[in-house]
Amino acid sequence: MSDLARLIIAALEWDAALGFAPAEGEVERALALGVGGFVLLGGDADAVAALTARLRAAARHPLLIMAAPHAGATAPGARDALAVSAAARQGAREARGVGANWVMAPVDAVDAVQREGVLACIGRFPGEGGAAPAPRGAPSTVTATRDELERELAPYLDAIDAGVASIMTAHVAYPALDASGAPSTASHAIVHGVLRQAYGFEGLIVTAPLVEGSGWEPRGEGHMAARAVAAGCDLLFHPNDPAAVLHGLEVAAGRTVPRAQLDASLARRDHWARWAEG
C-alpha cells in the first residue's frame, strides 16, 4: 500500500433502487488502496451513517468524508448572511450526524461550518463566472482581466482570513492569471503562485472532480493527477479510477514533483483529518 493513496478522495454513489450495494466493489478497492477519504453521492441518512461507520472501522488512518448536500446550499433567503450562516450550521450538524466531517460550504459561512467541527471546502477557485465553452480537448476559459478577477477573488480572501480548511480548484483556464492556457487545477501559476504564495493559503487544495477533467486532459486521470500535484494541489477528488490516479502519483513522485512536496500534502491531509475526527 502506497502512502500516496491518502491523497485520493474516492467517490461512492447511491442507487435509488439498490442503495450503496452497487458500490461494494469500489468500497473494497478503495479501502485496499488506502485512500484518504470518500465523497458520498446521495443516500438516506441511515444508509450514509452505516457506510461512514464501516469505512472508519476498516480504514487504517483517519478519513475525510464528504456527503451531499452542500451545507447552506438550499438556505431560504440565501442573500441574507444570517440565513446562510444558520443554514450552513444546520447542514454541518446534519453531516456530522451521519458521520461526515467535510462539506462544500458558501464562502461566507466558513466559520459557521467549522465551529461545528466540520471542515469547510469552498469552490471553485478562482471562480467560474463567465466561463466560455471550449473546443474539444481544451478547458473552458474565463477571459476577464486580472483587475476584474481580483474583484471576483475578494470572497476567497475573506474565507482564507476566516480559516477555511480547504479550497477546490476549477477545470477552467484564466489567461490573465496563466497565459499557458492550463486550467486552474493544473496551473502552477494559479495554485501555487496565487493561492499559496500571494494569498498565503495554508490549508488543503482540492482538485475539482477528476471525472469532469477529460475536456482538458484526454490522456486520462493518471496524467490529470500528475499535472494537478505538479501545480500544487494536495487532494485528488472524485476520480473514476483511483488506481490510475495512484499510478500517476507514483510516476510523478521524485520526477516531476519533489517528494518533499508530496510529503507536505500528506501532512496537511493528516492534520485536517485528525482535526475533523476531534
- Count, in order, helices (H) and strands (E) of the chain: 10, 10
Reduce the DSSP state of residue 183 to 3 states and report it: strand
Task: Give pLDDT, residue 77.
Answer: 45
Q: Average pLDDT in the 88-95 region? A: 93
Parse the chain into domains and list their residue ranges.
Answer: 3-276
Name the residue type at position 36.
G
CA nearest 168: which of 117, 104, 72?
Answer: 104
Q: Is residue 120 within 8 Å of 70, Cβ to Cβ?
A: no
Q: Is 129 exposed, middle or buried (0-12, 13-18, 19+ CB in 10 A)?
A: exposed
Task: Give pLDDT, residue 127.
Answer: 85
Share of the chain above pLDDT 90, in %: 81
Q: Is residue 143 within 8 Å of 105, Cβ to Cβ?
A: no
Task: Give pLDDT, residue 136.
Answer: 64
Reduce the DSSP state of residue 128 to 3 states and report it: coil
Q: State pLDDT tens for residues 103-142.
A: 999 999 999 999 999 999 999 999 877 776 766 667 889 9
Share of the chain above pLDDT 70, in %: 93
Give the CATH fold of the 3-276 domain: TIM Barrel (3.20.20)
Q: Is residue 56 within 8 Å of 99, Cβ to Cβ?
A: yes
Instruction: Taking each helix axis as running N to C, give the angle between helix 259-276 and helix 221-231, from 0 to 180 degrees, rounded to the nearest 10.
Output: 90
